[in-house]
Amino acid sequence: MSLIASHTTLLKQAAYRLGFQYVGVSKADYLEEEAPHLEEWLKRSYQGKMSYLENHFDKRLDPRKLVDGAKSVVSLLYNYHNPAKQTDPEAPKISTYAYGKDYHWIVKDKLRALVATLEEEIGAINGRVFVDSAPVMERAWAAKSGLGWVGKHSLLINRSVGSYVFLAELIIDLELEPDGPIKDYCGRCTRCIDACPTDAIVEDKVVDGSKCISYFTIELKDALPTEMAGKFDNWMFGCDICQEVCPWNRFAQKHQEPLFEPHPDLLEMNKQDWEELTKEVFNEIFRKSAVKRTKYTGLKRNIEFLNK
């Protein structure tokens, strides 16, 4: 076995031991096919008020501008699926990815442990770890490395586990054996497009972010637009509609990460509990949670909007 192959095997085995379900490798290079799509997406203002997406255009397309001497982009999937639902069918809904502790630090800690394991075996590595927190086109890299394909809803779909997965990346100066992409298995299915209540999926693989319920309930800091009243399908934080209707998610298995388990009271809260939510209860239920991103005032705004 060559040194490159040996390093690749070492990396993947270490990642699986840390709980990642899938690992794929791509050569660190310019994303030539994605460049015109990203430019057009921004030109159409699909980023809404997420102005940070307009920054670092070149870095988004070329990982070598993020890490000097980068040779490989390692893409990893970490399952977060939880089939448990809120007990009150009338309670405002929260996306399942936010049930437990904030995935950013949980998955990033695992990436750092992965790098440490590699360095123990082969010496110092120059690189960076990413979990949805830097200008990295994570879905493009995951698809390029064969972890799945980008569905019509623009999320990555894996044939074995579906789309309830967090994407993470290592960009490192270590040469590894690249994997190749797989075909798109969406076929003529349009369930995600048909189900979106705000018509945010404007064409195959293209989402107008400024119309997405997740954008409104998490990213938008301004007042929610009145024309969207009654269209949120009772989602107060995030939205899982396009994933819930996707046939590939029938293969999703419950995660094995204890830190992703919800606070004992979260799923039991009824509609009235949420409407009377205090800051103290918010801080207790969502301690170290991704929901903290919208803050107490933002969540209250969302809940009140659902009643309009």
d(CA 223, CA 95): 21
Q: What is the dihedral of CA 35, 181, 23, 147, to 10 degrees?
A: 90
The residue type at 5: A
Contacts of 94 (CB under 8 A, 6+ apart): 86, 235, 236, 237, 238, 266, 291
- Positions marked active-site: 132
Q: Any alpha helices (H) in the chain, and if so which ranges? A: 3-17, 34-43, 57-61, 103-122, 138-144, 191-195, 213-214, 241-244, 271-275, 279-285, 295-306
Residue pair 174/71 in contact (Cβ under 8 Å)? The answer is yes
Specify burial of residue 187 (Cβ count, 10 A radius: 0-12, 13-18, 19+).
Answer: exposed
d(CA 148, CA 16): 17
d(CA 144, CA 137): 11
For residue 26, what are the β-bridge partners?
73
d(CA 97, CA 262): 10
CA 188 to the chain's CA centroid: 24
Q: How many CB atoms lie within 10 A of CB 221?
A: 11
At CA 92, angle to CA 87 and CA 93, rounded to 5? Answer: 75
Place of tokens 């390029």: 144
